[in-house]
Amino acid sequence: MRGLGLHGALSPEDKALLLGLELNPKRVSAGEVLWQEAADVDLFCVVKEGWAYSYRNLGNGSMQILKVYLPGDIIGMRDFGFSRRLAGVAMINDGVVSPFTYQQLFDLFGHSPALASCLIATTVRQQAMLTERLVYLGRYAAHERLAHFLYELYLRLQRIGAIEDNGFAMPLSQEQIGDALGLSAVHVSRTFSMLRDEGLVQRDRQHVALPDPDALARLVEFNDTYIDESLPPAFQAFQKLER
């Protein structure tokens, strides 16, 4: 609700419809696969607790992590309109997810076009995050990739109230960070050390702190438009009209 509320005010009816997607919470364990690549598309899910990631297994035995999902994110919308999964999804740590069906999604679209527009905007912005990842994987040095990745997580976690004293819990292993950034675990470790020596990042096991978030953003010329830009006037006008 907090995330979608950034794209427009939610009515009590909208909130009730969203809660309807969370009626069947399921506890899941770290490493548990929610679905495999090329599986039938039959469910989507809301992350209520924990972190998850989508991935592709490559022919050379390596893995590419495509996206990290945080509490409040909807998983699977990228598969909407496909019969087979485009990527697998697994849990990073223990958590709770709430699966829901195509029919529940269609019912939501039918009852609230304004809420449907918010969901569409959210899904498109998830694709924008993948585009941004492509840019910095292709053009940035290792320390810039990691800096961009950490600052993006910082902004996303800030939106859901999960930042305290510029720090946050990050359950990702060095191997998983490497799979997201195209780096080896050893290279990730060295890059964390470089950013620490520059006074930009402090890491203690699964906790990360950014002493000067603005300095980290300046390092990679971070443009937060793809995360924080408000909806265009046409969306806002439609939502007011629909209500």
The answer to whether residue 241 is domain-embedded is no
The answer to whether residue 240 is domain-embedded is no
Confidence grade of residue 2 (pLDDT, cut at 50, 70, 90) = low
Q: Which CATH number do you get for residue 55?
A: 2.60.120.10
Q: How far apart are alpha carbons 26 and 83 in whole angstroms?
A: 24
3-class DSSP state of 229: coil
5 vs 34, higher pLDDT? 34
Tokens coding 72: 């409040």
Q: Give the ranges where the chain is alpha helix by DSSP (H).
A: 2-5, 12-19, 102-111, 113-139, 142-159, 174-181, 185-197, 213-219, 225-228, 233-242
Q: Domain containing 200: what range?
A: 140-234
Give the model confidence (pLDDT) of 116-130 as tens digits: 888 888 888 888 888
Q: 10 and 129: one domain?
A: yes
Q: 150 and 47: one domain?
A: no
The answer to whether residue 60 is domain-embedded is yes
- Of 116, 139, 162, which residue is a domain's last? 139
Confidence grade of residue 197 (pLDDT, cut at 50, 70, 90) = very high
Give the model confidence (pLDDT) of 206-224 as tens digits: 999 999 999 999 999 998 8
Confidence grade of residue 166 (pLDDT, cut at 50, 70, 90) = very high
77 vs 171, higher pLDDT? 171
Q: What does the pLDDT read at residue 242?
A: 57
Please state the domain count of the chain.
Answer: 2
Q: Residue 188 in contact with residue 145, Cβ under 8 Å?
A: no
Full-model pTM: 0.90
The answer to whether residue 167 is domain-embedded is yes
Q: 11 and 107: one domain?
A: yes
Q: What does the pLDDT read at residue 15?
A: 82
Q: From 52, 54, 74, select the one nearest 3 (Cα to Cα).
A: 74
Q: Which CATH number do you get for residue 181?
A: 1.10.10.10
Q: How far apart are alpha carbons 88 and 85 in whole angstroms?
A: 7
46-55, 117-126, 229-238, range with greatest mean pLDDT: 46-55
Q: 72 and 58: one domain?
A: yes
pLDDT above 90: percentage of residues in the chain: 62
Q: 113 and 146: one domain?
A: no
Q: Is it the case that residue 241 has pLDDT exceeding 60? A: no
Strand partners for 75: 45
Confidence grade of residue 44 (pLDDT, cut at 50, 70, 90) = very high
102 vs 30, higher pLDDT? 30
Q: Residue 36 in contact with residue 85, Cβ under 8 Å?
A: yes
Q: From 168, 164, 154, 172, select the one nearest 217 (Cα to Cα).
A: 154
